[in-house]
Chains A and B, each alone.
Chain A
Amino acid sequence: MKEAKEKKNPEISVSITISTWGAFAVYVITGLFLIFGFHVVRNKYSVDLISDPTLTLRLLWIIEFPIVVIIYSLFRRNPEKCSYFRAVGRSLVGLIAGALINALGAVSLGAPIGMQSLSKTIHWSFLMSVFTVVPATAVLGASWIDWHRIFASLKPIGIIEHMLLVPAYGAIIGGWFGAWPMPLDWERPWQEWPICVCYGAIGGYIGGQMVSLLTLLSEHKNLKLA
């Protein structure tokens, strides 16, 4: 939190641009909060993803959501027209809408639809929404053209759009691969829905962050050389 506040002033002064190092800082903060979330779950509630997936997922997204909103709202489009609080407000809407989309996607891919897994699915899709949709709503708002350009046509412009796109796709692809161990007959508790999908998504998210950092760094170098 402290770091974020320290960043606040210089970042706002340069409007919506962000350096590669800024991106790195954002990734580190989100990553640290993810770790913090796991820490809280383990030490405060002494459960983990395997023993109580519902509670863990709920705590994780509740901890991760504010920090993502706070950070990404700094980089919102048209900061003159759109106030900071409006960005926070619309990311709340984005959270719910994104959760709905993620849940529908998961169910169409074969997530269980029983009553006993309903709460797990809900909290999993909230977490996925925090990874995928929430940052984009905070930054882009309801600008369909930008959404379409970034997420459908895969043509991000600038570092911040790159930061929206790559980790989000990383989380989705990671989750997709995370689903593969589920049918195996190893009879491990982590094979249950949504535990390994969740691990996959988190892994994919972090992997996406790394990939985006690396591409940003190489582009940066190229720019410098040019």
Chain B
Amino acid sequence: METYLKNKKLTALGFLLIHAIAILIFTRGFLLTRTELPFHSTCSDVSLSPCLASPRSNHDSSSGQSNQTQPKCWTKPVVDRVIIIVLDALRIDFVAPSAFFPEPKPWMDKLTILQTLAFANDSSAKIFKAFADPPTTSLQRLKGLTTGGLPTFIDIGNSFGAPAIVEDNFINQLVLNGKRLVMMGDDTWTQLFPNQFQKSYPFPSFNVKDLDTVDNGCIEHLFPTLFKDDWDVLIAHFLGVDHAGHIFGVDSSPMINKLEQYNSVLEKVINILESQAGPGGLHENTMLIVMGDHGQTLNGDHGGGTAEEVETTMFAMSTKKHTTLVPPEFDTSSCKQNKDGKQMCISYIEQLDFAATLSALLGISFPFGSIGHVNPELYALGSSSWNLDKSDLGNFGTQSAANEWMKHYVDVLCVNAWQVKRYIDVYSNSSVVGFSSDDMSRISDLYSAAEQNWSNSVKHILMDRNGDDGSTDISALLKEQIAEYLNFFSSVVELARSKWTEFNLNLMITGFGILVISLILQFLAVFHGDKSYAVGSWLSTGAAFTLFIVTIRACSFLSNSYILEEGKVANFLLATTGLIKLRYSVMRKTMRKEAFMFLAMVFVLRVSIDIGLTKQAATSQFMSSSPSWMLGIAPDHPALTYAIEIAPILSVVILICVLYVAIAKAPNEGVWKYVTVGSMVSYFFIALLWASESKIFGLDQLLQVTGGRNRIPQTVYVIGLVQLCLLASARMFCTEKDKNWAIRTVALVSACSSPIILLSGKQGSMLALVYLVAGYCIMRLEGVERRTKSDGQSKFSKLNPLCVVQWSLLSICMFFASGHWCAFDGLRYGAAFVGFDEFVLIRQAILLTIETFGFSIILSVFGLPLLIPFHSQTPQAHGEKRHQLFQMYMLFGVISATTVTATILCVTIQRRHLMVWGLFAPKFVFDVVDLILTDLLICLASAYYL
């Protein structure tokens, strides 16, 4: 018997391991992670590169450029000022002419000013089709644009909670190089870059229904700023199109109005620029970039990786009226003819290359983590500035002008390639999960080949300014070198994409498969493990109903709507089980009071979940629920304030009384009893803390007496730890095993509950009371469908699975009722600082975990034995009960595992869904943590109880 039980304990451990492995494998395939490196590029770094002896130094002096006063960093600056206008969620078909698309739609050809400029003869403007890497949410995209990297769902960095970018980025480099920045519009920028802007006019971005505040604020500040000379880089971020898409969709009149408004704004901006573009003018050498951060679907959604979402656009224009023609080998433009037969071309750029290209244009060091390369066409737009002089001076003709441009470009690419290689090397060495050595050696080979070519031939051409060699010869060499560099870049980007943006479906399916197998094993363990104690037969109504509830809940995860309203769904199912129990209790004419009480508790939880949902709706971008109910009392009514202050304290007092009754009934049980008394002391402290925090008791001085607000919580934590140690040692050294285990359960649960209640805040005690009453009702109602009044005291009966399902549903409801939801903004970060002021990662993370999963997992797993009605105290019954308890734990584990398997299936199916990063991935993370924690606690609990 003992060895048998030992095996069972190992079973629990085995399932923990299987689940951990399955989830680890799945996560490797699904949750792409990237380590943020804390390194920064500096101007002096370039001396380490092979491009050190670049000919530009003598080049500069010989051509007598005026900007020698400006210290050169990595590359020579080619534009003086940059205006970046970001139009959020700008689809490619908003900007590109309708001739590029199968059929014209009402929202096309609205930004006519951009088209006119780009397709004018001898223009210095270009329209690009820009590719944004998923996840296509504004925050991730801005991060990607500025760092030149590929932000993933989880960037492992040291920013806990705050979104500020830690990695080296374009904005940071601008500041380091003494450029002055002005920002206006979306306040995401100021969250990402809290200190970098010299001037900023942020406007709140989260009110999706507001189409105009951000845009009008932008416009108000944009035009005056254009006439000032106290900035080098201007960023204006308009949100109207994004919001119009979210609310009305793309095909709507507000969207078209917005686009027309933007057209007039851009027209005005360009007029100002052109009026100031003369020699010595403010915008003599300015580049204007109008770009989207990502696209949107016709419904206005974005976040995923569909073509509509990742295809956005970029318009770039230089105020200098001359453009170098890019050699056709590096020209990516695709051309169409419009109705008048006019040739129109749009080029292609990746947003990944934005940071590198702009850094090269402005002549600053490239962000450390950028893996993009300098885009030839965008670079050519700006690089007209020096070619103008040359072609006039020497009159070499276009061929030689092109050669001249390529010389510059290849030099820039040399620095660029060196910087990317450096990042890849450093990342691979310092990251937890770096690149594989095969990939690394392939990249290194490509790089060294390009480098070889560079040092052997091209470098000398660049050094040698006397162009005696045939220009075609030089041109061919340069082209070959550029092609080699581009080849290197493309393989780096391919590798990075496969690592950071593509799901590994094989790993995902393997993980899912292992989980399904473990689920089947668990089911076998529950239903066939031990015939005499197993959960009824498959055909019993209780088992069938259990299966139905678990299945319908699992199926509900296949839709995003049910995930959003998971709390309500769980509550609905819990109430359904309550009604079924009520029917049985009416039928058996027993326990009717308990059944009604249970429904009442479900109602309380439901109100609490409703309140939580309104909180969620306030921050979630997917929900627009309005509070479905309103109390008729004004929120600051004095009676209500008193009730809110007193109710939590009253609940704590009731809990103390309950504990007292629980231990007073039991015979003297030594250490278990003392532990419970310790919890009562903890509860008392909690009540004291809350009483002193509220104003109505006049206990303000108490805080001073006890030494600040942190003293009491810390005392409660210490008491809790001591209790747990006592319980563990008592379990280990106490030889008599046939003790009454109700008191043991009470001791453990009460020891855990005091910190949880403290961390949950004032609602905690009331919820704990609701949980207690509901749990009591479930225990009383267990097996009500078989039991009649007469045989209520009869011998031990088989386990009814329905009560375990109820308990599990109740714990899920508790998670939502305590104001959580499955998103990272659903975490109550404040709880991490109860009792502590300073931040220590591990300690605060533990507190946050306890707060988040306290009611839903810790108390529910440890409290499960309370569900077994204790009728007889004979040793034999005790042995039976231990088997039954194990069975219950297995069942509880199966229910959690089924939920997680359903979530994982859903995530696998919906991995291309637009809400995958906003909704499914957080849900997945929460469920996975939930499962592992449940398994772990089941192991601990079976070690403690069995």
Contact = CB atoms under 8 A, between A and B. Distances in A.
Given A108-B579, A110-B575, A185 B560 contact: yes
A114 B628 contact: yes
Interface stretch (B44-52, B510-518, B598-606, B672-680): B598-606
A183 B579 contact: no
Interface string A121-153: 000000000000000000000000000100011
B100 interface: no
Contacts of B578: 108
A18 B250 CA distance: 62
A112 B571 contact: no
Contacts of B579: 105, 108-109
B562 A183 contact: yes
A24 interface: no
Interface in A178-197: 179, 183-185
Interface string B551-576: 00000000111101100110110011
Given A107-B603, A114-B628, A183-B564, A148 B587 contact: yes
Nearest to B629: A114
B792 interface: no
A176 B559 contact: no
B576 A184 contact: no
Interface string A201-215: 000000000000000
B559 A184 contact: yes
B561 A185 contact: yes
Contact of B586 (A113, A148, A183): A148
A117 interface: yes
Nearest to B567: A110
Nearest to B579: A105
Interface residues of A, number: 18
A115 interface: yes
A183 B603 CA distance: 19
B634 interface: no
A176 B568 contact: no
A152 B575 contact: no
Interface in B602-653: 602-603, 606-607, 622, 627-630, 632
B28 interface: no
Nearest to A118: B629
B576 A109 contact: yes
Nearest to A191: B561
B583 interface: yes
Contacts of A105: 579
B576 A183 contact: no
A113 B629 contact: yes
Nearest to A183: B565
Contact of A112 (B575, B599, B628): B628
Contact of B561 (A108, A115, A176, A183): A183
Given A176-B576, A183-B564, A185-B561, A108 B602 contact: yes
Contacts of B629: 112-115
B583 A110 contact: no
B562 A114 contact: no
Given A108-B575, A108-B602, A179-B572, A113 B628 contact: yes
Contacts of A185: 560-561, 564, 622
Contacts of B561: 183-185
A103 to B, nearest CB: 12
A109 B579 CA distance: 9
A113 B609 CA distance: 13
A152 B586 contact: yes
5 contacts: A108-B602, A113-B607, A152-B587, A153-B587, A184-B561
Give the top 8 A-B pairs by smallest Cβ distance, nearest first.
Answer: A152-B587, A112-B628, A114-B629, A183-B565, A184-B561, A109-B575, A113-B629, A185-B561
Given A110-B568, A148-B586, 20 more contacts: A105-B579, A108-B575, A108-B599, A108-B603, A109-B572, A109-B575, A109-B576, A110-B571, A110-B575, A110-B606, A112-B629, A113-B628, A114-B627, A117-B628, A148-B589, A176-B576, A183-B562, A184-B562, A185-B564, A185-B622
